[in-house]
Structure 1
Amino acid sequence: MKFVTEEVLEGHARATRRGAIEGTLAGLALSVPASFALHRRWAYYRSLPITIKVLGVVLVAAPAFAVQAERRGVEFDKSQWTGIEKEELDREQSEIVARWGDMSVTQRIGDWASRHRYELFFGCWAGSMAVSWMLLRGNKTQSFSQKIVQARVYAQGITLVSLLGGVSLLHMQSRNKVKEDPSAHSWARLLEETPIDSRTPGVKAAIHA
């Protein structure tokens, strides 16, 4: 077992900072030119307050910042895996891939949705907010702030429905799950395959207790 050192922590921090910079630059490289293009070609976009335009840029750059920072951190963690721990994690990943291959299309969709439910909830909220705004922007009887509030209410309602659907999906999966999680007892298999001489004194004492 490899203990975390100051060098490892610093390396993880550097990788995370690198990912944060990459994500921010990528998000800005996408959102800023898009904002300028909309400003040049769409009269309605030019009439929007600068705060709304900045918010649009932030809504693209902020998720890119967070996602890429986490990706770089995870990549660094995986690069530190060595020995039997790495073999066990690789074996668990192979079992997950094999189980995915045995699933039907419906099961794959459900499994993917359950593992990416937070991204789906956020995407559903953002998409419903955009669609609601597109439908309400032509209403001449409401002010800009009233349209924003109404679009947000619609988006919250749609997101609540999707949230309830996600909870129902997780409940159905937990009831229909017949295979045991391969990582549930991976520690026991890892202990069996670890030579006794290489175990730490604490582990040896726990085994013989």
Structure 2
Amino acid sequence: MPENKLEGQNAAVARGAIEGALSGSAIVAPTWYLLNRRWPAFRALPTTLKTLGAVITIVPLISIRAEHRGLDWYRTGIGKTEREKEREEEQRRWASLSPKDKLAEWTAKHQLSVIVGSWALTMGLVGRKVMRDPLISMPNKVVQVRLWAQGLTIGVIIAAAALTHSQRAQAANMRKHSPDHTWVYLLDKQRLEKERAQNA
């Protein structure tokens, strides 16, 4: 990695670490102050134990913010072109699907949302109809709405299971995490830069 890019990444990570330290301190300082003033058990704790609590809060925030800043730097810099290629490939693949395949893929990816959404929709629709009936008591109305919603939800779950079974290979591919091959692209890019430098 060229020196200026490495410096940029180091600066981003350092900025993230400073942000984490400041945000951790912003959490710990007032908490420590309030606990010292209002809770006698906290005042009785040894200083080393209080410091441990501060460290347990601040250090993870430092590392998390530093990592986030480093990843942000990477996403806007080196890895941007590789991600753009992947995004374009996914858009081409999505555009080539038929509407039926698009619906099936979307449903397979969002099964839980479809199931919960169908349950809520059924509760609303059936509830609206059942609540208008003056001859049924309120507890019976609630039971009727619940039974209708459960029945339809079971039907949706069975349909989702059938869809998943029919698309088992596709579902496995969607769930499988594709490995990050950005490093191959970077190695090729570095090799080309070295060749250009040697030829110049």
TM-score by length of 1: 0.49
Over the matched positions of the two proteins, sequence identity in percent amounts to 23
CA RMSD for the aligned pairs? 3.9
Q: 2:126 aligns with which of 117, 128, 132?
A: 132
Look up the match of 2:139. 145
Deviation at 1:134, TM superposition (A): 2.3
Q: 1:169 aligns with which of 146, 154, 163?
A: 163
Q: 1:111 aligns with which of 105, 120, 134?
A: 105
Q: What residue identity is the alignment partner of 1:144?
A: M
Q: 1:191 aligns with which of 168, 183, 198?
A: 183
User: Looking at CA atoms only, which structure, 1 or 2, has the larger radius of gyration?
Assistant: 2
Distance 1:95 1:157, change over 3 A: same
Q: Does 1:156 align with 2:150?
A: yes
Deviations 1:13-59 (A, max 9, x none): xxxxxxxxxxxxxxxxxxxxxxxxxxxxxxxxxxxxxxxxxxxxxxx
**Unmatched runs of 5 consecutive residues or more in structure 2:** 1-5, 24-67, 191-200
Distance 1:174 1:156, change over 3 A: same
Please say if residues 137 and 147 of structure 1, whose CA atoms lie closer than 8 Å, have aligned partners that are also in contact. Answer: yes
Deviations 1:134-180 (A, max 9, x none): 221233332212211220121011112112211221221224x4996
Deviation at 1:102, TM superposition (A): 1.1
Distance 1:179 1:101, change over 3 A: farther
Please say if residues 100 and 108 of structure 1, whose CA atoms lie closer than 8 Å, have aligned partners that are also in contact. Answer: yes
How many residue pairs get aligned? The number is 130
CA distance in 2: counterparts of 1:165 and 1:174, whole angstroms = 14
Report the secondary structure of 1:84's partner residue: coil
Distance 1:184 1:124, change over 3 A: closer
TM-score by length of 2: 0.51
Please say if residues 88 and 186 of structure 1, whose CA atoms lie closer than 8 Å, have aligned partners that are also in contact. Answer: no
CA distance in 2: counterparts of 1:95 and 1:179, whole angstroms = 19
CA distance in 2: counterparts of 1:114 and 1:9, whole angstroms = 42
More helix by share: 2
Please say if residues 108 and 171 of structure 2, whose CA atoms lie closer than 8 Å, have aligned partners that are also in contact. Answer: no
Q: What residue identity is the alignment partner of 2:126?
A: S
**Unmatched runs of 5 consecutive residues or more in structure 1:** 12-75, 199-209
Deviation at 1:111, TM superposition (A): 1.3
Look up the match of 2:39. none
CA distance in 1: counterparts of 2:84 and 2:135, whole angstroms = 60
Q: Does 1:86 align with 2:80?
A: yes
Distance 1:9 1:155, change over 3 A: farther
